[in-house]
A and B are shown apart, each in its own frame.
Chain A
Amino acid sequence: MKREVMTANKAVAEAVKLAKPQVIPVYPITPQTTISEYLAQFVADEEIDAKYIKVESEHSAISAAVGASGAGVRVFTATSSQGLMLMHEIIFAAAGMRTPIVLADANRAISAPLNIWNDQQDSISQRDAGWLQIYVENAQEALDTTLMAFKISENPKVLLPSMVCLDGFILTHTVEPVEVPEQEKVDEFLPPYKPDHSFLDPNEPMSIGTLADPDYYLEARHAMSVAMRESLDVIEDTCKEFADIFGREYGLIDPYKTEDAEIIFVAMGSMCSTLRVMVDELREKGEKVGLLKIRAYRPFPVEAIDEAVKNCDKLAVLDKNISFGIGGALFADVKAKIHKDAYGFIVGLGGRDITPEAIMEVYEKTKNPEQEVTWIGLKEE
C-alpha cells in the first residue's frame, strides 16, 4: 500500500488502473478532464492494458462503452455536466441493455447560464435511468467507491451500470492524502470480468438491444427494478468485503451522531465534511444534531435511512440541485419515503460556497421553519 497526495480525479484514475478495464472511451470536459488525461497516460505508458478510444463526443463515449460492454469486457468512462447531458439518451440504453459500465461524473452545474463550477444537477438529472448512483465525500472514498462500483455492477444480481459522483473542483481538483491499495489485493477483491452470457461471440451468436413490443417491454423494465432493489444488499455485501480486505468501511449511508439527534442534516457528497464539523460545533453548544450522509442515492436506501433517523424530530435536507416546481430531488425523495418532519434547502448551486454560516442558517430554519423549501445564500435583489 502506498500513501500519496492526490486529487480525487487522480484517485479515480488510480482506481481504474487497479480495476483493469479493457476499453476506456472518454471525452474530456471540465472538471473531469484530468481523469481522461491520467488514463491516456497510463495507457500510453502501458500501465493499463486497455484500448483507449479517443471519441469525438460524450455521446460516442457512452455509445462505444455500451458496444464494448456488449462485447463482454470491463469498461470505464467519465464525464461531467454538459457531457452527461449529451450522453442522456444512451445513459438509459446502457442500463436497459444491462451493461455494467462504471462512469465517474465530476459533478458540475448545467447550462444556462454557462457555469463550470460544482453542483449535482448533472447526475441528479439522470436519476431515473436505471444507474446506481453513489456520491462520495473525499478522494479516498472516490478511489474506493470506483473499485467497489465495478464489483457491484458486474454482480449477476445487478448488471446495471454505476455512476460514481464526485464534486467538481471541491474534490476533483483538491489534493488530499490517499491510500492506494496494492494490485494483488485489488485482484483478489475484483477478479477479471467474465459475463455469464456469450455476448457478441461468433461461436454463440446472440442479438442484443432488440425491439421489445408492449408484450415484453414492461417485463424488461420490471427486471431492472428488481435488480435495482437487489443492489441494496449487493452494495452492503460489497462494502463488507471491501472492509475485510482494505480496512475501510462504507455502506449505503454514513450516519454521524444521529442516535440521540433531534435534528439531522441529510446530504450527499463533499458538503458532508463541512456538515460534520458543524455538527461538532453545534454539539459543543449543546444542540442535539447529527448528519446522515447518503452515499447510495440510487438505489434509495429507505430502510437504512429509516433506521438512522428513527429517534430524531426533524430532517434538514440539503440539495445541490433543483427540481423546479418541487424543490431539491433528495428532499422530494425523503418527503416521499421517510415519515419525518423534513425541510428542504437549496444550497451551493453553480459553485456557491456552502459556508458554516449557510449551514447555521439551515439549522435555524429547520428549528424554526418558515417554509418547506428555502434557498440559502441568495443575494438581495
Chain B
Amino acid sequence: MEIPKEELLAPGHRGCAGCGASIAVRLALKALGKNTVAISATGCLEVMTTPYPETAWEIPWIHVAFENAGAVASGVEAALRIQGKDDVNVIAFGGDGGTVDIGLQSLSGAMERGHNLTYICYDNEAYMNTGIQRSGATPYGATTTTSPKGKDSFGEEKPKKNMPMIMAAHGIPYVATASIAYPEDFMKKVKKAAEIDGPAYIHLNQPCTTGWGYDSSKTIEMGRLAVETGSWILYEIENGEFNITYRPTERKPVAEYLKPQKRFRHLDDEHIEKIQEFVDNECAELGL
C-alpha cells in the first residue's frame, strides 16, 4: 500500500508526545486526501489542533460542541450535496466520550438517516481531555479518576459498551473496527468507508500515553498488544457481511497487554484471569 507523504494534519499542534489521536487523524486524512471536510466533537483532538489563531488542519474543519458531531456532520453533508459537491468526503471524529456516551443519540440519528459520511470514533477508553474520567468505553478493571481503584474498588466494574455492534444494528452499509497500530488495515477501511454510498462507522482503538500510563514511545506497541492479545479485534461488516481483517498468528496472553499500563497495574491475578475470560469469550464469539 502506498502511503502519501503529504500531511493534512500539520505538525506543531499541541498533542502530547506519543499522542495516538493525531496518528489517527494523519492516517485517515492520508487515506482520504484533500477533497475532504472534517467535523470534530469537542475533546482532545479539537482542543489540541485549533487554539485560535492557529489550526493544524490543512482541510476545511468545523467544531460546534461535544455531543453533536453526528448532527453537525449531517448538516455539513446535506449542505455540500445540495450544492452539488457530491465528491467531497465528509468525515467526523469523536472521542469515545463524544461517541458512545454524550453523542450517541446524535450519531444514531445521523447513521439512521443515511447521510453519506464517515464517522470515526477515536477510542482511548476514557475522557482524556478533562483528565482521565471513565466513559462507557472504559474497559473492565481500568482505574480512572471517576472509577478509581480503592479499598473497595478495583476500578471500572463493567466491560466496555459494544459500540461497533450498536452501529451495525443500524443496518448501515459499513462498520469496522481498527487500530492506529495497523495503519494499512485502518487506511483501507477509511477508503472503503468513504467510497461506500451511505453512512460508515469506524471504531478505532487509540492508545493514550497520558491516560493509560505508558512511555510515550510505546503508543504503537500498546496498540499492537491490544490486537495481538485479542483485547481488540479487527473486523469489518460490509453490507451485513462480517469479516475478521487481521488474525494474530498466535494470540498472546492478555496480561502482556495489561501489565505495562498504569491503569491496570493494580489488578490481581484473579482480575486478570477474569479479563482473559472476557477476551476468550469475545474471540470465540467473533471467530478469532
Contact = CB atoms under 8 A, between A and B. Distances in A.
Interface of A: 22-23, 25, 49-51, 53-57, 59-61, 63-73, 75, 89-90, 93, 97, 198-202, 204-213, 216
B80 A71 contact: yes
B12 to A, nearest CB: 14
Given A68-B76, A200-B62, A202-B36, A59 B71 contact: yes
A66 B109 contact: no
A188 B82 CA distance: 22
Given A202-B60, A205-B58, A67 B75 contact: yes
A23 B79 contact: yes
Q: Which residue of B53, B58, B71 has the most chain A CB atoms within 10 A of its CB atom?
A: B71
Contacts of B80: 71, 200
Given A202-B34, A210-B52, A23 B61 contact: no
A53 to B, nearest CB: 6
Nearest to A52: B78
A66 B64 contact: yes
Nearest to A207: B55
Q: Which residue of B55, B62, B63 has the most chain A CB atoms within 10 A of its CB atom?
A: B62
A211 B51 CA distance: 5
A93 to B, nearest CB: 5
Contacts, number: 159
Given A57-B105, A59-B71, A205 B61 contact: yes
Contacts of B59: 202, 205
Given A64-B71, A73-B82, 8 more contacts: A63-B64, A67-B62, A199-B60, A202-B59, A205-B59, A205-B60, A206-B60, A211-B47
Interface of B: 34-37, 39, 46-47, 50-53, 55, 57-65, 67-68, 70-76, 78-83, 88, 105-106, 108-110, 112-113
A67 B90 CA distance: 12
16 contacts: A23-B79, A23-B82, A25-B74, A50-B82, A56-B109, A59-B106, A63-B68, A63-B72, A66-B72, A67-B64, A71-B83, A73-B82, A207-B55, A207-B62, A210-B63, A211-B52
A67 B106 contact: no
B36 A67 contact: no
Contacts of A211: 46-47, 50-52
Given A205-B61, A208-B62, A22 B79 contact: yes
A207 B47 CA distance: 12
A64 B78 contact: yes
B88 A202 contact: yes
A200 B60 contact: yes
Nearest to A59: B68
Nearest to B87: A202
A209 B72 CA distance: 12
Contacts of B76: 67-68, 70-71, 200
A68 B78 contact: yes
A207 B61 contact: yes
Contact of B75 (A66, A208, A213): A66
Given A68-B78, A200-B76, A60 B68 contact: yes
B193 to A, nearest CB: 18
A69 B76 CA distance: 8
Nearest to B74: A64
A70 B105 contact: no
A59 B74 CA distance: 13
A208 B73 CA distance: 13
A299 to B, nearest CB: 25
Contacts of B57: 205, 207
